[in-house]
Amino acid sequence: MHDWLQQRALFEELALPHSNSLLRAALRLTGSRSAAEDLVQDTLLSAWRAFKRFQPGTDCKAWLFRIMLNGSNRARTELRRSQSLVPIEDSEPVAPRNSDPLENESIERALASLPQEQRIALLLAAVEGFSCQEIADITGAPIGTVMSRLSRGRSALKSQWLPASLTNGPRKKAHGL
């Protein structure tokens, strides 16, 4: 019984501090607060069940995100079969970084428009602060692929946010004007 209590204390010390980060990312992955909370709960439950195999000294946050992404992929497959995803605008941010609701909505919409691989890479890098190598470890993708996803995702976001006049280049004057 004593060993179980030590395991529980270690799990609570290493894993539970990342709950808010998991929830923030889960909200952006699922677009629904209740689905995000379910995903985080499933993630923590799966992590607890697998905690005996966790290697002390490794990055617990990256390990948890890997578990969450695997769970998200399974849940998304099930959702596709049964129903469409809830629009991301319906979600309520956990802790918005920006106080302007219109800009937050614009950011969420822009992120939601990206392919999932790019969105995940950007969220892990920009929101959660993971390095390219850590993102590669979490997603199981080669580091070059991660760097490409980040670059393409950033380019897509820039093109969505820049005014049309800047992205289309300078307009030619009409003859005689």
Task: Kindly report, residue by residue over 30-42, the tens digit of the pLDDT.
Answer: 888 998 999 999 9
Q: Say if 115 falls within a structural domain.
A: yes
- Judge if 60 and 103 occupy the same domain: no
Domain that holds residue 120: 99-167
Domain with 107 in it: what CATH number? Answer: 1.10.10.10
Which secondary structure element, helix H or strand E, spans residue 120, and what is its range? helix 116-122
For the beta carbon of residue 154, count every other beta carbon within 10 angstroms. 16
pLDDT tens digits for range 72-114: 877 667 656 655 444 544 444 444 455 555 556 777 788 888 8
State the pTM of this model. Answer: 0.61
My answer on whether 10 and 82 are in the same domain is yes
**Is the separation of the CB atoms in 138 and 130 below 8 Å?**
yes
Are 103 and 155 within one domain?
Answer: yes
**Which residues lie closer than 8 Å to 88 by C-beta, 6 or more apart?**
28, 31, 108, 109, 111, 112
Query: Within this chain, do residues 81 and 27 fall inside the same structural domain, yes or no?
Result: yes
Structure tokens at 30: 């699922």
Is 84 in the same domain as 103? no
| Alpha-carbon span 109 to 26, nearest angstrom | 15
Residue with tokens 């209740």: 34
